[in-house]
Structure 1
Amino acid sequence: MDEWQNWAGNQQTGRVEVIVPRDEAELSAVIVAAAEAGRQVRPIGAGHSFTAIGAPVDVQVSLDRLAGIVRADSTTGLVTVRGGTRLKVLNRALEALGLSMTNLGDIEEQSISGAISTGTHGTGARFGGLATQVRGLRLLLADGSVVSCSASENPEIFDLARVGLGALGIIVEVTLQTEPLFALNAREGNGSLAEVMSSFDEHASGTDHFEFYWFPHTTRVLTKHNTRLPLPETPLEPVGRLRGWFDDELLSNTAFGATVGLGLRVPGLVKPLARFAASALSPREFTDVSYRVFTSQRKVRFVESEYAVPRAVGMDVLASLQRAVEASSWNISFPVEVRVAGADDIPLSTGFERENVYIAIHTAPSSPWREEYFAAFERIAGEVGGRPHWGKMHTLSAADLAERYPRFGDFVALRDKLDPSRTFGNPHLEHILGS
């Protein structure tokens, strides 16, 4: 029996049974025994969700031993991996095969099953979330059986299970569509919030992968323009060791962590420190293998809320958030992250049939302004039908979500069919999916 908490430390449980099965057969036996005893089981990967989506009630199943590549075809780019495979391991294994994920989020700590199940995404107007790269799944169901699904095999399950919240079954294998290894040329620079907002569509449509960070209490932003380049034709020019340590370790982690801590102790320092931080970052340009550009280390603990809002009104939402911050007494140490992504056909994806701007806000877990700040943002995003990231903090109920996802009822119906006894349930899932 062990206690559990997520990466951020904002979700915790009492002592629960934690099982780390060695193979699919052992996992199946665990699920059958739990179901027969009326116990609930939650699978867990890296625990990087800020919601209680992974919080166990009776039994927690770690997929850490169900990891690694099962098979890979460099000709088709189809790669099958076990559900517990961490992205940081997968990225390096793919590089050795001369392959890349098409797009990634900004960290690589998650398991592949957790990342796709919660709708993890990166940025890029022409690209969807990680789940759009899925071509097949093997799901272990509540009765202990395993079902394979794809666009041609059990398509009704595949359709909904690509972003399945861990509510339909446990993903034991994922088949991904990868592509030949490629590089990214990264251009990072400072800019004016007003300028970037006024020309957002030009930045987003004119760059393969564009994002920016706004520093609250300032009018400054950090912009990132990443352009895809073929390998091995492209010479790599990665960030130098000293510059990388200074920018990514000292400034982005060590110094930033100290700044956040100081701001919690002396709130009056947050605004001048924000202005200093916005001016301290200097432009840089480098070219490296794609995953090393897409992802970075995040050592400073935080909690996060992110909403996908229709692209056409994305900058209006950001402007409303800026006005709310300026009119408040909050002291916000963390920048606001703004990304863009294309539409997809996955029913519980935030990108379902809609291009989105993704706006993410962060605070320290102990921030006294967290609840007011997050509530104000949720209200602003809700006015335009914003959809919350499944792994990031929100308060919406099943009734709210049913209004924002046209096929929400189809997902709930499939859950009723595959897991009628709620073996894979927990209170959070009951809140967001209904009982």
Structure 2
Amino acid sequence: MIKTVQGRRWKNWAHTFDSVPEKLLYPSSIDEVCEIVTEAAKLGKKIRVVGAGHSFTSLVKTDNWLVSLDQLSGVEKVDEQAGTATVLGGTRLFKLGEALGNIGYAQENLGDINVQSIAGAISTGTHGTGLKFGNISTQVLELSLVTASGEVLVISEKSNPDYFKACLVSLGSLGIIVKVTLKITKSPVYEYKSQKIDYSRLEVQLEQYIEQNRHFEFYLFPYSNIVQIKTMNNTAKRPQSLSLHNFTNLLLENYLFFILSEICRLFPRSSRFISMLSAKGVGTTKIVAHSYQLFATPRLVRFREIEYSIPIHHMKAAIQEIRQCIELEKYRVHFPIECRTVKADDIWLSPSYERDSAYIAFHMYKGMPYEEYFSDMERIMRKYEGRPHWGKMHKLTKEQLLLLYPKLPDFLAVREELDPHELFLNEYMKELFGEGC
């Protein structure tokens, strides 16, 4: 019997929205997912699907049926000869990392948060950093999708190929991803380095940092000339214990940062000072470990976030304008600005579609006003051909999205074919993908 909860209020991780679904359902098999979809279609109900709830927009907000994939989880098969892993849709990324790591394998790249489900990460175009790597969706070789008819459709380059590039980033609007086959790699050992440098040095050496490091990202601190840079590269050194490193991350980047954030919330004028203090506090860190142990760090401090992908050749001009705008407008913000790079791909709704990309993310602590800051940062990103991360907050209309995504009309045609009665759309999704496009 399918586990069902009725009348319970549900909210996402960031607490940017909540809703009371008529039913919250927890299928534990693919057959149960098919059963739910068939019943919903018969009763005229709408379905949204949730993994970890780490999207900041109203992607899964519903007063109809909310389907959680938490019980549809686990690694089904690893084919070492082919270099693939087949996993169920609700499998959390950190669980997948542990399972693969135990047998000497890993995903080739991950983001800095690993609590998402694999289906959710694929659906929203979740990414890490490193110009040799695409987003997580580019690791997918095959997926199984429960469509609005209640049937399972296996989709790959060879099986139903007309749907493949649409399904790899779909915001859950084409059906429910219940199984995925991923490319995996022998788990590499990386040397991770974190240090602070002057912004003037970053300006001169930005292209060099991007090109000469396997994984590279940096953080701009509002009102400070200090930049934190992080790199990860292959090494022949032996992995070391992460106990102290993990404890330090937990203490400094969560508990201490929470205290500083609360000070900023209570005394907003302190934001400039706190940001400069945080920048000065960046230390030099070196650690050697397996890749999957290094990609992500705990995120316990809740925040709001927007993130945009821009062509990488605009990156330097964009960060210059961002810094100038912050100094001019004097926003009360203390969260650093996260800057990463992602390889171009051919996925229809990927923000990196057909262009090597710089991803720039802006955060504001929960409870602090963010509208003016986000609006101005969004304006700058749009000036540089910015496409929004689908799981982060943005204000773009479907008319604007049509100009940014040349394959969006093709995607909408697939959506109409697979879900003609809009079973998988809520009000937010209708604004993006509903009739009238």
Kept in 2, the 8 Å contact 1:330–1:373? The answer is yes
Scaled by the length of structure 1, the TM-score of the pair is: 0.97
Scaled by the length of structure 2, the TM-score of the pair is: 0.96
Instruction: Look up the match of 2:312.
Output: 311
By how many angstroms is 1:167 displaced?
A: 0.4
Paired amino acid for 2:268: P
- What's the secondary structure of 1:327's corresponding residue? helix
- What's the secondary structure of 2:191's corresponding residue? strand
Instruction: Look up the match of 1:107.
Output: 113
Measure the CA separation in 1 of the matches of 2:434 and 2:423: 15
Instruction: Look up the match of 2:328.
Output: 327
Measure the CA separation in 2 of the matches of 1:182 and 1:242: 21
Q: 1:283-317, CA deviations, whole angstroms, 9 ceiling, x for partnerless residues?
A: 01111010111111000001110000010011211
Paired amino acid for 2:129: T
Measure the CA separation in 1 of the matches of 2:156 and 2:245: 45
Instruction: Look up the match of 1:249.
Output: 250
Kept in 1, the 8 Å contact 2:101–2:292? The answer is no
Paired amino acid for 2:202: V
- What's the secondary structure of 1:175's corresponding residue? strand
Aligned-pair identity (%): 36
| Alignment map for 1:183-332 (pairs within 5 Å) | 183-229=189-235, 234-239=237-242, 241-246=243-248, 248-332=249-333
Matched, 1:97 2:100: no
Aligned CA-pair RMSD: 1.2
Paired amino acid for 1:237: Q
Instruction: Look up the match of 1:365.
Output: 366
Structure 1 pair 267–166 and aligned structure 2 pair: CA distance change class (3 A): same
Unaligned 5+ runs, structure 2: 1-5
Instruction: Look up the match of 1:4.
Output: 10
Measure the CA separation in 1 of the matches of 2:215 and 2:203: 16
Paired amino acid for 2:337: V
Measure the CA separation in 1 of the matches of 2:146 and 2:116: 20
- What's the secondary structure of 2:22's corresponding residue? strand
- What's the secondary structure of 1:409's corresponding residue? helix
Measure the CA separation in 2 of the matches of 1:105 and 1:20: 26
Instruction: Look up the match of 2:390.
Output: 390
Measure the CA separation in 2 of the matches of 1:91 and 1:298: 17
Measure the CA separation in 1 of the matches of 2:250 and 2:104: 28
Measure the CA separation in 2 of the matches of 1:433 and 1:375: 23
Paired amino acid for 2:130: G
Paired amino acid for 1:185: E
By how many angstroms is 1:16 displaced?
A: 3.0
By how many angstroms is 1:65 displaced?
A: 1.0
- What's the secondary structure of 1:149's corresponding residue? strand
Kept in 2, the 8 Å contact 1:3–1:16? The answer is no
Kept in 2, the 8 Å contact 1:42–1:57? The answer is no
Q: 1:25-67, CA deviations, whole angstroms, 9 ceiling, x for partnerless residues?
A: 1111111111121111001000000011122230000011111
- What's the secondary structure of 1:205's corresponding residue? helix
Kept in 1, the 8 Å contact 2:21–2:63? The answer is no
| Alignment map for 1:103-142 (pairs within 5 Å) | 103-142=109-148
Matched, 1:57 2:59: no
Measure the CA separation in 1 of the matches of 2:425 and 2:139: 26
Q: 1:101-125, CA deviations, whole angstroms, 9 ceiling, x for partnerless residues?
A: 0000001100000001000000001
Tell me which of 77, 81, 85 is aligned to 1:79.
85
Kept in 1, the 8 Å contact 2:194–2:230? The answer is yes
Kept in 2, the 8 Å contact 1:340–1:358? The answer is yes
By how many angstroms is 1:238 displaced?
A: 4.2
Paired amino acid for 1:245: F
Tell me which of 147, 153, 160 is aligned to 2:159.
153
Q: 1:142-197, CA deviations, whole angstroms, 9 ceiling, x for partnerless residues?
A: 11001001111100111210111100010000000001111111111001123213
Instruction: Look up the match of 1:408.
Output: 408
- What's the secondary structure of 1:275's corresponding residue? helix
By how many angstroms is 1:416 displaced?
A: 0.3
- What's the secondary structure of 1:399's corresponding residue? helix
